[in-house]
């Protein structure tokens, strides 16, 4: 009779295990970068440019140096002597560490002050006098491309205009032929406004260069510590073994903590120059005005349609506003990340995409804010285009999707832009969502309400997105392939420590990785400690972003556990005195085939690995695994929102939001639901209130939490979550990424619902955020509202 352990009871796959990291977080016992205090530590503060575009005529630091307690005032000129005034970006551009020639955006780093305490450091920053010669600022791609536009990147040899890249993908000719045969061509133009990941913990570092040993230790807020080590080795020309990056507890990343920022580099340089540890902790405004933003993309496109609703082809153009430096933190070989994953869930035979990036006098970045590198813009455009097409055809939006979604037996399928989508049950997810919301009933209610002057609307968003960069063919950083890693050590008593090359920032790895080990080995999850983020301890990995942890590092956890199990099987055979071929596995124990009661537990095998191994066997029970995924993972989601608009004020309320997520096998359902809830909250924020913009002088709007709004529990609607499970065909436990689905697919559901509610007015599009005044204006005028507020139709 089987003596296998109950997997859910030991905290394996499918257990909604309480998050083990929360015990310290909710007691205030976490250990964040700002909690690090080292003997003799100094404090650094950055002087930022008040102007968007200006030539630096002079910098007078004498008054700052004169303040008691100021230890160092660092300027770009001093950094240049160490060849560190500029640094490379992850998009093969360069970015100023400290400005030497010009400032190119408001908030750019100009100098920094190192002092005995953070108060004095700020006094020092205030005492620096910079003389600027203002230059005309450029705040959008149209201005950037004007014939007489000033050249922003005059530092780059051969750069004669403000274009930073051009890119295209797909088959233009085949697409053109498909358009020629179309019964209907549907068009859409929109702007996805600039947003900011805005983790509650801002960026920061404590750099500690030990001049006696030559070792540099940097505690920093990074989602990818191993990459940082490699980057520091290459940029600062320090030997890699003398660099230790420690990413302690991280208070949220959302893509913001992938890039290398000037503050990190300055803290390292200041530690080298002063010979003392130097702490830099960014404030909220510093984070919002200078670190990696998301989106800021203008999309124009069209869809070729047959009268019966079949999509024949799609083509669109994207203009991306990159800010002053092209520093998109993305590892793909494609210039606009995975923008071309658009329309992957639909059977679209032909497509063509063009894109162009421009430099502007705005903060650089273009990070993947809770998405896989421009996937959010792709899916938003896709779902807004789908709604516009259904409207143009006079077809029900659900029916239009039914006609065009890929069918279950069509996988694997190649998209017109080259992706291989490998699994899904799209129609089932859509139907589950429609049933949950009561689609037909709502449409009747909507028609009734309209007669009484009430504006109800329903919006759908369905999408699959590529999560889990990479595979090594198409994804790398600095040439390093996008694999990930895990190392597992099982101690003599059967307890274990697991380390991976990923880095949790709220995802709950300490909880969920243990569950994968538990699933593979039958060791209770509570007996496994998980550690990440210290490059001297953890195996080399590419970090956590793009929902890649479970698809890549999670797979490595599975694979290393299986290596351990393979060795344990040999130990079991030895203990049971049978040949290895006669040993069977059930969760938590090996037994003799045909004599199930005769067995040994995984813990007994562990003890034997240190006390009683067979002759010739290497002692110990530990191993590591490096995993290079064969493909991305393709979760699917269907989000359906219903809203009611107050037509007098334009204020809209979410009535319901139904989410159906298929992210394959769920390791910890509670953690997955948390991810979806968080993502939908961010999606709601984007659609309703959140944006950054710049005025004509290049002053940022949205550089603090008075102007850049995070939704609170008060206004965030409740979400109704449902699930479908289509296992990933290539992942060891069938899991797919999930962290970003809701933030990526959610915004279109809310916007489509509002547009559906005012469909009778003839308005086709209101650009996000759908602030009440914009909705009111659209209803009143019957005209589209474009561009970021407060500027209209720019």
Partner 1 sequence: MYPSRFRYEAPRSLGEAFALLAEHGDEAKVLAGGQSLIPLVKLRFAAPAMLVDINGIPELAYHREDADGSLRIGALCRHADLERSPLLPGNHPTMAAAAPLVADPIVRTRGTLVGSLCHADPQGDWASVMLALNGEIIAQGPNGRRTIPAVDFVVGPFQNALHPGEIAVEARVPAARGTVSGSYLKLERRVGDFATAGVAVAIESVGGQVIRAGIGLTGVGAGNIKAVEAEQSLVGYTLDPDVIARAAELAAGAARPKTDHRGSAEYKRHVVATFVRRALSGYRAPVAA
Residue 579 as a binder of partner 1 (CB under 8 A): the answer is no
Say if CB 59 and CB 65 are below 8 A apart.
no
Q: φ and ψ at 575, to 5 degrees?
A: -70, -35
Nearer to partner 1, 283 or 628 (CB): 283
How many other CB atoms are there within 10 angstroms of residue 548's CB atom? Answer: 29
- Please state the closest distance from residue 645 (CB atom) to partner 1, in A: 14
- Residues that are catalytic: 223, 370-371, 740
Greatest alpha-carbon span in the chain: 86
Window 69-88: residues binding partner 1 (CB under 8 A) = none
Residue 724 as a binder of partner 1 (CB under 8 A): the answer is no
- Please state the closest distance from residue 788 (CB atom) to partner 1, in A: 9
Q: What is the distance between the alpha carbons of residues 534 and 541, in angstroms, rounded to a whole number? A: 11
Nearer to partner 1, 126 or 154 (CB): 126
Nearer to partner 1, 437 or 779 (CB): 779
- Please state the closest distance from residue 122 (CB atom) to partner 1, in A: 5
Q: Among 14, 30, 50, 118, which residue sits at the site for partner 1 (rule: CB under 8 A)?
A: 118
- Please state the closest distance from residue 700 (CB atom) to partner 1, in A: 11
Say if CB 476 and CB 482 are below 8 A apart.
yes
Pick the piece of the chain touching partner 1 (CB under 8 A) from 185-193, 317-325, 521-529, 642-650: 642-650
Instruction: Return the structure tokens found at 172.
Output: 């233009």
Nearer to partner 1, 122 or 562 (CB): 122
Question: In angstroms, what CA-CA distances link 631 with 124, 464, 469?
Answer: 52, 14, 8
Residue 174 as a binder of partner 1 (CB under 8 A): the answer is no
Residue 789 as a binder of partner 1 (CB under 8 A): the answer is yes
Q: Among 773, 784, 786, 787, which residue sits at the site for partner 1 (rule: CB under 8 A)?
A: 773
- Parallel, antiparallel, or unpaired for β 476-477 and 480-481? antiparallel
- Please state the closest distance from residue 710 (CB atom) to partner 1, in A: 8
Window 213-272: residues binding partner 1 (CB under 8 A) = none
Q: Among 413, 529, 701, 725, which residue sits at the site for partner 1 (rule: CB under 8 A)?
A: 701
Say if CB 413 and CB 406 are below 8 A apart.
yes
Instruction: Return the structure tokens found at 269.
Output: 């340089």
Pick the piece of the chain touching partner 1 (CB under 8 A) from 335-343, 578-586, 645-653, 672-680: 645-653
Nearer to partner 1, 473 or 780 (CB): 780
Q: Among 200, 649, 762, 782, which residue sits at the site for partner 1 (rule: CB under 8 A)?
A: 649
Q: What is the distance between the alpha carbons of residues 192 and 43, in angstroms, rounded to a whole number? A: 38
Q: What is the distance between the alpha carbons of residues 392 and 607, in angstroms, rounded to a whole number? A: 69
CB contact burial 255-289 (16+ within 10 A = b; e otherwise): bbbbbbbbbbbbbbbbbbbbebbbbbbbeebbbbb
End-to-end CA distance of the chain, in Å? 73
Helices (DSSP H) in 82-171: which residue ranges? 118-127, 141-145
Q: Among 650, 717, 732, 746, which residue sits at the site for partner 1 (rule: CB under 8 A)?
A: 650
Q: Among 709, 734, 761, 783, which residue sits at the site for partner 1 (rule: CB under 8 A)?
A: 709
Residue whose pair of structure tokens reads 């351990």 in the numeric block: 564
Nearer to partner 1, 60 or 117 (CB): 117
Question: In angstroms, what CA-CA distances link 265 with 32, 126, 218, 437, 766?
Answer: 19, 21, 10, 51, 41
Upper half-sphere CA count for residue 622 (Cβ side, 13 Å) = 15
Q: Among 29, 119, 166, 210, which residue sits at the site for partner 1 (rule: CB under 8 A)?
A: 119
Residue 777 as a binder of partner 1 (CB under 8 A): the answer is yes
Q: What is the distance between the alpha carbons of residues 738 and 661, in angstroms, rounded to a whole number? A: 8
Pick the piece of the chain touching partner 1 (CB under 8 A) from 88-96, 472-480, 579-587, 647-655: 647-655
Pick the piece of the chain touching partner 1 (CB under 8 A) from 428-436, 606-614, 704-712, 723-731: 704-712
Q: Among 123, 328, 422, 527, which residue sits at the site for partner 1 (rule: CB under 8 A)?
A: 123
Window 3-42: residues binding partner 1 (CB under 8 A) = none
Q: In sequence order, what are the beta bridge partners of 693?
A: 701
The answer to whether the bond into 412 is cis (omega within 30° of 0) is yes
Residue 790 as a binder of partner 1 (CB under 8 A): the answer is yes
- Please state the closest distance from residue 770 (CB atom) to partner 1, in A: 11
Instruction: Return the structure tokens found at 34.
Output: 């700002």
Nearer to partner 1, 72 or 121 (CB): 121
Q: What is the distance between the alpha carbons of residues 356 and 480, in angstroms, rounded to a whole number? A: 26
Q: φ and ψ at 53, to 5 degrees?
A: -155, 115
- Please state the closest distance from residue 113 (CB atom) to partner 1, in A: 12
Q: Among 14, 88, 711, 787, which residue sits at the site for partner 1 (rule: CB under 8 A)?
A: 711
Nearer to partner 1, 517 or 778 (CB): 778
Q: Residue 366, class by beta-carbon neighbours within 10 Å (0-12 exposed, 13-18 middle, 19+ buried)?
A: buried
- Please state the closest distance from residue 188 (CB atom) to partner 1, in A: 24
Q: Residue 651, class by beta-carbon neighbours within 10 Å (0-12 exposed, 13-18 middle, 19+ buried)?
A: middle
Window 411-470: residues binding partner 1 (CB under 8 A) = none
Pick the piece of the chain touching partner 1 (CB under 8 A) from 152-160, 190-198, 646-654, 736-744: 646-654
Residue 95-114 contact track with partner 1, rule CB under 8 A, x = bound: --------------------
Size of the site for partner 1 (CB under 8 A): 32
Q: Is 698 left (phi over 0), alpha (psi -120 to 50) or beta?
A: left
Q: Among 105, 513, 634, 776, which residue sits at the site for partner 1 (rule: CB under 8 A)?
A: 776
Residue 126 as a binder of partner 1 (CB under 8 A): the answer is yes
> Could you tell me which of 26, 90, 126 has the C-alpha nearest to residue 261?
90
Q: What is the distance between the alpha carbons of residues 567 and 185, in angstroms, rounded to a whole number? A: 61
Per DSSP, the three-state class of 459 is strand
Window 37-56: residues binding partner 1 (CB under 8 A) = 45
Window 659-688: residues binding partner 1 (CB under 8 A) = 688
Pick the piece of the chain touching partner 1 (CB under 8 A) from 312-320, 623-631, 751-759, 769-777: 769-777
Say if CB 545 and CB 368 are below 8 A apart.
yes
Binding site for partner 1 (CB under 8 A): 45, 118-119, 121-123, 126, 648-651, 688-689, 691, 693, 701-702, 706-707, 709, 711-712, 714-715, 771-773, 776-777, 789-790, 792
């Amino acid at each position: 009779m089987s003596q296998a352990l109950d997997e859910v009871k030991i905290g394996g796959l499918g257990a909604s295990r309480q998050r083990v990291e929360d015990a310290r977080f909710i007691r205030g016992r976490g250990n964040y970068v700002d909690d690090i205090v080292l003997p003799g530590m100094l404090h650094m503060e950055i002087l930022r440019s008040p102007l968007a575009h200006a030539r630096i005529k002079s910098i007078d630091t004498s008054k700052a140096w004169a303040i008691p307690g100021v230890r160092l005032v660092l300027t770009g000129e001093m950094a240049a002597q160490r060849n560190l005034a500029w640094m490379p970006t992850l998009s093969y551009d360069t970015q100023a560490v400290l400005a030497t020639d010009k400032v190119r955006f408001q908030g750019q780093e100009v100098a920094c002050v190192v002092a005995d305490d953070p108060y004095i450091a700020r006094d020092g920053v205030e005492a620096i006098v910079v003389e600027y010669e203002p230059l005309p600022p450029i705040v959008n791609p149209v201005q950037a491309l004007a014939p007489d536009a000033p050249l922003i990147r005059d530092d780059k040899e051969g750069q004669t205009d403000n274009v930073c890249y051009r890119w295209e993908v797909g088959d233009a000719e085949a697409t053109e032929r498909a358009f020629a045969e179309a019964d209907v061509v549907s068009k859409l133009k929109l702007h996805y406004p600039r947003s900011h990941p805005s983790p509650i913990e801002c960026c920061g570092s404590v750099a500690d260069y030990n001049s006696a040993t030559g070792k540099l230790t940097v505690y920093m807020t990074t989602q990818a510590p191993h990459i940082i080590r490699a980057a520091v080795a290459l940029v600062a020309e320090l030997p890699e073994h003398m660099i230790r990056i420690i990413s302690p507890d991280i208070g949220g990343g959302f893509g913001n903590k992938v890039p290398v920022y000037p503050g990190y580099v300055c803290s390292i340089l200041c530690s080298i120059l002063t010979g003392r540890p130097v702490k830099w902790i960014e404030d909220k405004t510093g984070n919002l005005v200078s670190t990696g933003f998301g989106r800021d993309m203008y999309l124009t496109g069209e869809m070729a349609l047959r009268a019966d609703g079949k999509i024949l082809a799609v083509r669109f153009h994207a203009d991306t506003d990159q800010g002053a430096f092209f520093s998109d933190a993305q590892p793909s070989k494609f210039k606009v990340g995975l923008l071309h994953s658009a329309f992957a869930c639909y059977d679209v035979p032909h497509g063509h995409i063009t894109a162009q990036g421009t430099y502007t006098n705005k903060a650089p970045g273009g990070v993947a804010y809770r998405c896989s590198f421009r996937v959010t813009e792709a899916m938003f455009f896709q779902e807004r285009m789908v709604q516009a097409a259904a409207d143009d055809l006079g077809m029900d939006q659900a029916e239009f999707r039914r006609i065009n979604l890929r069918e279950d037996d069509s996988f694997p399928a190649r998209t017109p832009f080259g992706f291989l989508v490998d699994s899904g049950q799209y129609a089932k997810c859509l139907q589950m969502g429609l049933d949950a919301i009561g689609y037909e009933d709502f449409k009747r209610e909507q028609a009734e309400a309209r007669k009484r002057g009430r504006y109800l609307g329903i919006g759908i968003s369905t999408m699959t997105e590529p999560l889990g960069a990479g595979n090594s063919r198409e994804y790398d950083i600095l040439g390093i392939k996008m694999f990930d890693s895990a190392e597992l050590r099982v101690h003599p008593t059967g307890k274990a420590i697991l380390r991976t090359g990923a880095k949790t920032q709220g995802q709950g790895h300490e909880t969920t990785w243990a569950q994968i080990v538990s699933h593979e080995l039958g060791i209770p999850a509570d007996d496994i400690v998980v550690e990440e983020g210290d490059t001297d301890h953890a195996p080399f990995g590419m970090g956590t972003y793009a929902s890649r942890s479970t698809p890549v590092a999670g797979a490595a956890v599975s694979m290393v556990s299986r290596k351990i199990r393979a060795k344990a099987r040999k130990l079991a055979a030895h203990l049971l005195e049978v040949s290895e071929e006669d040993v069977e596995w059930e969760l938590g124990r090996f037994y003799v085939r045909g004599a199930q009661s005769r067995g040994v537990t995984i813990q007994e095998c562990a003890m034997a690995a240190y006390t009683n191994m067979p002759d010739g066997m290497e002692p110990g029970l530990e191993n590591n695994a490096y995993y290079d995924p064969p493909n991305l993972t393709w979760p699917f989601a269907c989000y359906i929102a219903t809203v009611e608009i107050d037509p007098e004020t334009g204020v809209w309320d979410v009535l319901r939001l139904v989410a159906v997520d298929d992210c394959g096998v769920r390791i910890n359902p509670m953690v997955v639901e948390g991810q979806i809830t968080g993502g939908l909250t961010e999606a709601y924020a984007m659609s309703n209130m959140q944006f950054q913009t710049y005025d004509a002088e290049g002053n940022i709007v949205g550089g603090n939490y008075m102007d850049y709004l995070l939704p609170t529990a008060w206004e965030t609607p409740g979400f109704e979550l449902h699930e479908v499970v289509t296992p990933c065909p290539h992942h060891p436990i069938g899991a797919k990424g999930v962290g970003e689905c809701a933030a990526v697919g959610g915004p279109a559901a809310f916007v489509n619902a509002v547009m559906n509610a005012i469909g009778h007015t003839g308005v086709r599009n209101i650009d996000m955020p759908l602030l009440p005044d914009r909705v009111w204006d659209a209803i009143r005028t019957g005209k589209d509202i474009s561009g970021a507020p407060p500027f209209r139709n720019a």
